[in-house]
């Protein structure tokens, strides 16, 4: 899954547009007549030239990662024109171009996120429907399921407002581990996602389960951090103690 920081991209464009609008650069327009041709350049030797190359390389690499279709040669052309005191567009035209591109970035990002939401939700619901047919899977609801990996030793169950000590690992359908306690940690079930609490309240001390949680009972349509939109969450949980 591709990831990009839409907020960072858009803030960059807003800053760029604000710079143009404020007139902080020269407003005289001289059309540049020379294209930037780097093929004939020798390898840089001085520290300043080597730094210039590294700076341009890293900036272009970043833009190439975040923006499909950006021709990095025009980045070099713009930098060259600014250094030479020439420019192809007025400040007002530059601001308009930046805002138009910002709108295009918004549109593409929204399309990508919407498509990902739909795909992940379809995968989650198809998996839960199939998984529910297994005889060893317990359905707390149509959206929360678990399988007992090891039976517990007691008969008491925690309440939804209790504190418990658990060892847990959280992963996604592709096997990526997104969080792991490693050791026993105390949590208040009222502060956890609904699906986690729904499973733990079914457990007894010493019990170990694997749970599958629908996105509506986990991190929802927008996800959280490294969890994508509408992702099914898989938990391995061991209930160490009910602390209340």
pLDDT tens for residues 175-219? 999 999 999 999 999 999 999 999 999 999 999 999 999 999 999
First to last CA, the chain: 40
Contact 60, 72 (CB under 8 A): yes
pLDDT of residue 56: 80
Nearest to 128 by CA among 233, 237, 1: 233
Mean pLDDT of 58-84: 77
CATH 1.10.760.10 fits 134-242, yes or no: no
> Does position 167 have pLDDT exceeding 60, yes or no?
yes
Instruction: State the Cα–Cα distance between residues 200 and 156, nearest whole angstrom.
Output: 12
Average pLDDT, the chain: 84
Which is nearest to 79 in space by CA: 103, 53, 61, 99?
53
Residues making up the chain, counted from first to last: 244
CA 94 to chain centroid, in Å, comes to 30
Residue 146 φ then ψ, to 5°: -150, 160
Portions of the chain given CATH number 3.10.50.40: 134-242
Q: Model pTM?
A: 0.68
Structure tokens at 127: 């998996």
Selected residue with higher pLDDT from 42 and 181: 181
């Amino acid at each position: 899954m591709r990831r990009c920081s839409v907020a960072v991209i858009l803030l960059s464009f807003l800053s760029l547009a604000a710079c143009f609008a404020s007139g902080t650069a020269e407003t005289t327009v001289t059309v540049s007549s020379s294209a930037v041709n780097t093929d004939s350049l020798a390898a840089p030797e001085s520290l300043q030239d080597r730094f210039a190359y590294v700076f341009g390389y890293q900036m272009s690499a970043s833009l190439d990662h975040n923006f499909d279709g950006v021709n990095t040669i025009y980045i070099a052309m713009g930098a060259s024109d600014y250094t030479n005191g020439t420019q192809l567009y007025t400040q007002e035209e530059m601001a308009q171009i930046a805002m138009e591109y910002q709108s295009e970035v918004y549109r593409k990002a929204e399309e990508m996120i919407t498509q990902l939401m739909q795909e992940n939700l379809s995968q989650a619901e198809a998996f839960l429907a199939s998984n529910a047919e297994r005889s060893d899977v317990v359905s707390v609801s149509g959206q929360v399921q678990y399988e007992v990996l090891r039976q517990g030793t007691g008969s008491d169950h925690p309440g939804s407002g209790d504190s418990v000590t658990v060892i847990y690992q959280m992963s996604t359908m592709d096997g990526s581990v997104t969080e792991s306690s490693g050791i026993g940690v105390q949590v208040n079930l009222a502060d956890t996602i609904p699906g986690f609490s729904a499973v733990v309240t079914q457990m007894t001390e010493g019990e170990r389960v694997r749970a599958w949680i629908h996105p509506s009972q986990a991190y929802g349509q927008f996800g959280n951090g490294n969890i994508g939109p509408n992702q099914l969450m898989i938990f391995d949980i061991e209930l160490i103690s009910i602390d209340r």
